[in-house]
Amino acid sequence: MLINSTRLFAGMQEHRLDAIVATMPENVTYASGFWAMSQWIRRGPQAYVLTPAPALGEPVVIASSGLIDLAADPDVWVKEILRFGKFVIERAPDAKLDVHDSRIAELMAQDDESDAVDALVKAIKMRGLRRARIGVDEIGILPQYWDRLAEALPDATLVRAADVFRYARAVKTAEEIRRLRRSAVIADLSIQSALAAAREGATEMDLARAFHSRTIAEGGLPVLGCIGVGTRSAMTNVQPSERKLVRGDVIRFDVGGRYRHYRADIARNGVLGEPSRKLAQYHRAICIGLERAIGMIRPGVRAADVFEACVETVRREGIGHYQRSHVGHGIGLDGYDAPNIAPSSADIFEEGMVICVETPYYEMGFAGLQVEDTLVVTRDGVESFMMSGTELRVV
């Protein structure tokens, strides 16, 4: 299972919630295993998971009938499902259905609950929660639907609860760690493929195609592909163009796809030919800063302290004016999970957090340099997911 139920229940208890409703795609998948495709690739389609507090009953998935094959997937561990909306799936007259199709047939035989809110209201009443205090992830539900939910449940108290999911998701389960590790490895391998395509005259798009193709070949899907060369590398979110590589160009990768819905986000740099003295010195400084940050991380350490030490180290090691708003973040179904490694952060590292630590440096007219590793916090330190080193790769 993906969900860290212990932590979700602790978060619910802290906010005195009798139940919580997932509405944004990351939280729906997290709370049930249900990958509600239309919700992931569009804005507006509704899918929910109602999770009552312990002893108040089992969770319920609310799925549109058009997604019922995904709700019937064996990866979905929540077994009670309410469906809504008209959709037609026929059945061959004498067919012996396999397990997955039998499950689809079973769910399609259930009533059509009309629409997402009606189905959610029914689920809440089924669980005896009509007078409950219910946390609702406010990010994925349409505002009109929130209003209708409040009207249909006049005796319930609805409170915004996206932050409770964010709190729960911060400490990963074993299955999440497995997927995140593979996702990071795919991104790492994809950078190697892109660097193998780097030569004089190759374009940023050539590198991007090599990068994404390897991601696909390894079973991932592209998401983040900031790949810039020369002075363009200094653009924070540089999108690959037809700009050609020339000797002396730095190459910056800030990249990562998805593997089984889990994100990657890593960064590395290459250079075509020998680096200038400044490039080598600055790159060395950000690598040492990253090393310093990673070396400090273990359960109980404050994220803000890691930020300070990291920035201080980069300054001392060669970029005296180095400034950052953060030097890392958690990663999971969302590309930016808790914790936030920033000066004002109150977050404290815990075992099982999967985090991206990064020391980007953007200088217009010169270059963008960035190293970013992904790692899991262990009982007494960290374990890195990275296969490649942070060194500036001369190609």
* Residues in contact with its own copies by the rule CB under 8 A: 24-26, 35, 37, 41-44, 66-70, 85-92, 95-98, 100-101, 104-105, 138-140, 142-144, 146, 160, 162, 205, 209, 212-213, 216-217, 219, 221-224, 231, 234-239, 321, 323-325, 334-336, 361-366
Give the residue from 247, 238, 223, 237 showing the smallest Cα distance to 395. Answer: 247
C-beta of 127 vs 361, nearer to its own copies: 361
CA 374 to chain centre: 12
C-beta of 138 vs 175, nearer to its own copies: 138
What is the phi/psi pair of residue 230, to 5°? Answer: 60, -145
CB 20 within 8 A of CB 164: yes
C-beta of 53 vs 68, nearer to its own copies: 68
At its nearest, how many Å lie between its own copies and the CB of residue 383?
Answer: 26
At its nearest, how many Å lie between its own copies and the CB of residue 148?
Answer: 13
At its nearest, how many Å lie between its own copies and the CB of residue 367?
Answer: 9
C-beta of 282 vs 349, nearer to its own copies: 282
At its nearest, how many Å lie between its own copies and the CB of residue 114?
Answer: 13
At its nearest, how many Å lie between its own copies and the CB of residue 146?
Answer: 7
HSE value, Cβ hemisphere, 13 Å, CA-based, for 322: 27
Give the residue from 336, 327, 332, 338 showing the smallest Cα distance to 373. Answer: 327
CB 19 within 8 A of CB 52: yes
Rounded to the nearest 10 degrees, the angle between the axes of helix 143-152 and helix 116-126 is 40
What is the amino acid identity at position 387?
A: M
DSSP letter, residue 390: -
At its nearest, how many Å lie between its own copies and the CB of residue 366?
Answer: 4
- The C-alpha atoms of residue 22 and residue 61 are separated, in whole angstroms, by 9
Give the residue from 6, 5, 46, 56 showing the smallest Cα distance to 24. Answer: 46
At its nearest, how many Å lie between its own copies and the CB of residue 77?
Answer: 17
DSSP H/E element including 329: strand 328-330
Cβ contacts of residue 190 below 8 Å, gap of 6+? 210, 211, 212, 214, 215, 218, 220, 255, 257
C-beta of 89 vs 246, nearer to its own copies: 89
C-beta of 224 vs 377, nearer to its own copies: 224
CA 81 to chain centre: 25
C-beta of 255 vs 353, nearer to its own copies: 255
At its nearest, how many Å lie between its own copies and the CB of residue 298?
Answer: 28
C-beta of 64 vs 390, nearer to its own copies: 64
